[in-house]
Every structure is written in structure tokens, then in C-alpha cells.
Amino acid sequence: MDKIVVLGAGESGIGAAVLAKKQGFEVFVSDFGKIKDNYRDLLEKYGLEYEQGGHTESKILEAKEVIKSPGIRDDAPIIKKIVAKNIRVISEIEFAGRYTNAKMICITGSNGKTTTTELTYKILKDAGLNVAIGGNVGRSFAMQVAEDKPFDYYVLELSSFQLDNMYNFRADVAVLMNVTPDHLDRYEFKMQNYTNSKFRITQNQGKNDVFIYFNDDPISAEEVKKRTFNQQVWAFSVKEELKLGAYFLDNGNLEVRLPEHHDSISPEGFQLAGKHNHCNIMAAVLTALYLGIPVDKIKQSVDSFQPIEHRIEPAGVVDGVTYINDSKATNVDAVYYALDAMKTKVVLILGGVDKGNDYSQLDNLVKEKVRAIVAMGVDNKAIHAAFDSMVDIYDTKSMSECLKKCREIAKSGDTVLLSPACASFDLFTCYEDRGEQFKNQVKEMM
């Protein structure tokens, strides 16, 4: 019996372990940290051998394959030892993909992938397709393959870390929202390495598949020019008309130009506002059209789709000031789109764990729209270096201190925008925790 080792006992790891056991493998789960109670309960329910608080190398190095949590770095000591033994390291997505014949709709990008994934899933589900959602959202893809009835379609949100350990997996539809600097600490601080990771979503595609990308993103557009594709290639844009794809100029209609479609969709009724959401909508619409869903059904689904939590999410109004929770904006590009969507003066909350951010693309928007910056992090030096010459910056160390300062600065009619451009792990457990604390304190102020 071949042995599978699963490193990391989170959502993806537990799902992979359960699927591996159901497929007849000997399974060992190892987590360097403490396993959460709900996941430990699942390990015991399925009779899976596991350890926590460290790695037993002798057991791990017996594996035929290792399924690695996307949160584990490639330069972690245990990974180096596994690779040195020529043991293949794969992702949960690569492993689970072996055990389903469903069509794979895969979505990646530095920003916008969660909204696009959830919108695409809603359109497909509303149209009556037998579809599931997974990857970075919802339940583990592997657990669904192991436990649920067979699906005909999976809509998967994929991070670069998941794509790095995918080799034979093939996306029927591959969507790349954009490529902007993010997680560069995992890619030797080389943008091309990160770009190559994102473009792995196109690997193994054939002539009956499609790759959909954002034509206005300079990195994506340049990379497309450099590569040869066997699959169909469609694009979307908010800047120019396209011969093949979708475009959305100014406040006009969403225009679709495809071999079998020449459609014009009115934005009236869309719940998702802003150019960034126009991009998300176009990517989802192109995917749905490729899968044969009628335009009228697509329009109904888009109209009824609500913005996702922690992404430009209204949190309340206090003393005439609107508070917006954009905690999911963990890189500079996401903040750019959030600021671009604001129609008032902004008190901007930035800060957290900086991932090598280049804040210069925000310069014009900060000069035009930002009344002040409230920095919320353990180390705010990079924010001061970028913006001290433009606006006043106030340092805070907690959400309560931060919002107290925002309330002092903001004037009636302004917007307080939590759009941090950074990871949350210095002061919060995750971006959701940061967003929830923000929303809860706004409610208390109300």
C-alpha cells in the first residue's frame, strides 16, 4: 500500500487526507503547529494517523507523495528534506483532480478572484448546473470529491501557492484576473517568478479549453504576447474595445464580442459597483457564455449577486461618515481599485505586515482623495516613507485606537476606508478577524 503524507491539518489538508484514505492509501498527517479542535475531530472520526507540534521525519520521508498545505513555504526545512529524497510534493488540488471527471473552472489573480469565483458559481448554479465551489473558498475541494455526490462542474479559486504544486491538473476554463506585486517574499522577490506561478493556470490546456485574462493589466498582457497557446484566448477590458472578449467602457453597456455571441448587457441592476467589479463581472460572464448559459439568465444572476464580505463592504454611517470594510485588500493593487471607487474624501486605514509593497501607484489617488492616513500596524515605516510628503499620517496599534482617530479626523460626507494593503498577522489572526473587529466597532459607534 502506497503511503501519502499530508503536511498541514487545515481545511485543504484534512480534505486531502480523507480522500487519500478513501482511495486506499496509507495516510499520515503531520502539522508543525497545533491542530484546531474541529479538524482533530475529523482526523479521529476517519481513523487517520496524525501528529501535531512537530514533524517526525522518519515517517514523512517514507511517503510516495506529499500533499502540502499552500501555507507551507518551499524553503521550510522539512520540504527541503522531502525534495532531497526525490519525493514528489503536490497540492490538494492536484491530488483531488485525479478522482473526478468534472469540468474545472479555475480562477486566479492577485485581486478579484474571490468575487469572480463566487459570482461564477452563482451564475452556474442559478442556471441549473450541477456545480460546486472550492479551492480557497468554501469547503475543501478534496473533501467534496471524497464525500459528496459527483458534481459536473467545480468552480475553484486558486492561489499561486496552490498552482505551484499542480502539474497534471487541467482547467477547462482558466481565468487570470490580474498579476500585481503580492507574496513576493515567497518568490525570491522576483516579479517574473510570481508571474510564472500565476500563468501555471494555463498549463495542460488544449484546443477545446479557454484562457480568459485582463487585457488592461500590463503584466498579464505582456506575458500573453510572449507565450504560445493551444487553447482559445479571450480577454476583457475597461479601457478599449476588443475583437475577441468583453469590454465595459465608461458607464456604458457590457459588450461581448465572441465567435457565437455579439451581446450588449445593461449594467442597470448590477449590485457590484466600480471598475474592479466590472472586471469581475466580465470574467464571470465570459466563463458562463463559454459554458453555454443564455445571456438573459446570466444577467439575472449578476443583478441579484451581493458584494462579498470584507471587500468594499459597507459597515455603517456615523455622524454622516460612511465606513467601508475592505479588509480583504491585502496588496496595493486592491487598495488602488478601492480608492478609485470612492466618490468622497477618504480617511484611509493602511498597515499590517508589509509584503514588499510599492505604494507609488497610489500617489495620484492619495493626493486627490485622501484626507489623512491612519496607519495600523506594528511597523509603519514603509507607509510613512511613501506618504509623509502628501498627507498627515497617524500611527495606531489597535482597531479601537484606529477608529477613535478616524472619527476625530473625518468630516461629515467623508468615507473611512479600511483597505490595508498588508497582511493582518501582526495585530489580527486573519483579514476576516480584522474586518469583523472593524464592523463590530462601527456598530458600537452607531
Closest CA to 67 of 18, 11, 16, 25: 16
Which one has a higher pLDDT value, 333 or 385? 385
CATH number 1.20.1540.10 given to 313-445: no
| Backbone angles phi and psi of 432, in degrees to 5 | -65, -45
Where does the pLDDT of residue 356 fall: very low under 50, low under 70, confident under 90, or very high at 90 and above?
confident
Fold match flag (3-90 vs 313-445): no
- Per-residue pLDDT, averaged over 396-409, amounts to 96
**Where in the chain are the domains?**
3-90, 94-303, 313-445
Q: H helices of 251-389, where?
A: 275-290, 295-303, 332-341, 363-369, 381-387
State residue 109's pLDDT score.
94
State percent of the chain over pLDDT 90.
Answer: 85
Whole-number average pLDDT of the chain: 94
Closest CA to 428 of 328, 315, 323: 328
Residue 110: how many other CB atoms lie within 10 Å: 25
Tell me how far the alpha carbon of residue 368 is from its chain's centroid. Answer: 28
State residue 303's pLDDT score.
96
Q: For residue 125, which amino acid is it?
A: K
Residue that the C-alpha cell 500596524 belongs to = 377
Element spanning 395, H or E: strand 392-396
243 near 257, Cβ under 8 Å? yes
Global confidence as pTM: 0.80
d(C-alpha 143, C-alpha 325), whole Å: 31
- Per-residue pLDDT, averaged over 53-70, amounts to 96
d(C-alpha 111, C-alpha 186), whole Å: 17
Check pLDDT > 90 for residue 182.
no
Residue 18: how many other CB atoms lie within 10 Å: 24
- Per-residue pLDDT, averaged over 198-217, amounts to 97
State residue 138's pLDDT score.
86
Check pLDDT > 80 for residue 250.
no
d(C-alpha 251, C-alpha 198), whole Å: 30
Write down the CATH superfamily of domain 94-303.
Mur-like, catalytic domain (3.40.1190.10)
- Per-residue pLDDT, averaged over 320-345, amounts to 92
The CATH fold of domain 3-90: Rossmann fold (3.40.50)
Where does the pLDDT of residue 384 fall: very low under 50, low under 70, confident under 90, or very high at 90 and above?
very high
State residue 364's pLDDT score.
96
